[in-house]
Amino acid sequence: MSETPGQHVPHTLIADQERYSRQILFPGIGAAGQQRLGSAHVAVIGVGATGAASASLLARAGVGTLALIDRDFVEPSNLQRQVLFDEADALESLPKAEAARRKIALFNSAVTVQAHIADLVPANIAELLGSADLILDATDNFETRYLLNDYAVQQSRPWIYAAAIGAYAATMNVLPGAANPTACLACIFPKPPSGPVETCDTSGILATAVNFAASIQVTEALKFLTGQPNLMRRSLLSFDLWTSERSEISTARPRPDCAVCGQRHFTHLAGEGRPHITLCGRNSVQIHEHHRPVDFAAMRDRLAPHGNVRFNDLLLRFERSPHTLTLFADGRAIVQGTTDITVARSLYARFIGS
């Protein structure tokens, strides 16, 4: 069949047997495994570097439903490693979850992608993750990971941790509902790291490390989704692609005195001590205490005398040097140009409202 340049060939013309033929040939998947993938539902938390790579791999593998959850928008610095975005997405400051949904539709329109432009918090975690068979962590902060761990252990839901920084990648399967459960995140790391924590904004990151972490994470996910959890690795695996240093810590058994899976204290899920304003990386502060609908057109008219404003159906960007305020439809905002929470709160109250 011929097509004119730029013409999109609809999925109905591409049979699943043809699309997934090489994957079906792999004995670990086969026709039965492919069918199971098609009926599976996976949630990906964070659609930055690791999340975009994992979501792309899952969609190309034929996972039927993907829930993509991300609080952020595409920026030019993302393009070096975040495989589902392009320059147009960055220029438009498109929310990452929506940009990823649009790109996936171009290469596998049969996959149902639910784009959630949201910060995962105790108030929405059950709604966003409730129907997923498996949860993949691709976040950039331990606050969200400990929240996810609480929820997964409480609900006996499987999840897979993944992280990448510099040339370093790490991943770990957490199977609280298995016949022989693994250790949970709190078993291995009883408390979040204290003091300054390395981020891609301070230490840089290689796209190869991101794709390494995502490849292992998704391979473990495929084992689970095709009904082979017995093949899943039971260790925290870390690897530095630059130095070739490798380490592996057993996660085969829960720690009996673990506060989460042993004593079932779900402090993060209860929201105890959770701040309403948090540092968000790249010289930014996130304000997520306001949950109210925003009329972007009316807000544009209100802010125009004070700086440059542009908006679309998903967000509004207000630039008043040296700060940029990105406002989402539910009232959540990211203030760039400061790490001072007091300054960020003041800017929000002054221009958006308290």
**Distance separating alpha carbons of residues 148 and 164, to the nearest angstrom:** 18
Question: What is the Cα–Cα distance from 184 to 186, expressed in whole angstroms?
Answer: 5
For 14-158, strand residue ranges (E) read 41-45, 65-70, 112-117, 134-137
CB burial of residue 322 (10 Å; 0-12, 13-18, 19+): exposed
**Residue 50: which of 286, 214, 227 has the closest Cα?**
214
Placement of tokens 């109250």 in the chain = 349
For 63, the token pair is 């996972």
Task: Verify whether residue 200 is a known catalytic residue.
Answer: yes
- Do 323 and 99 meet the contact criterion of CB atoms below 8 Å apart? no
d(CA 267, CA 131): 23
Query: What distance in Å separates the CA atoms of residue 35 and residue 62, rounded to the nearest whole number?
Result: 9
- Catalytic member of 187, 200, 261, 280: 200
Strands in 112-117's sheet, in edge-to-edge order, are 112-117, 65-70, 41-45, 134-137, 159-165, 168-174, 235-240, 246-250
Find out whether 275 and 147 touch, Cβ atoms under 8 Å: no
Backbone angles phi, psi at 327, to 5 degrees: -110, 130
The DSSP string of 290-330 is ------HHHHHHHHGGGSEEEE-SSEEEEEETTEEEEEETT
Residues recognised as catalytic: 200
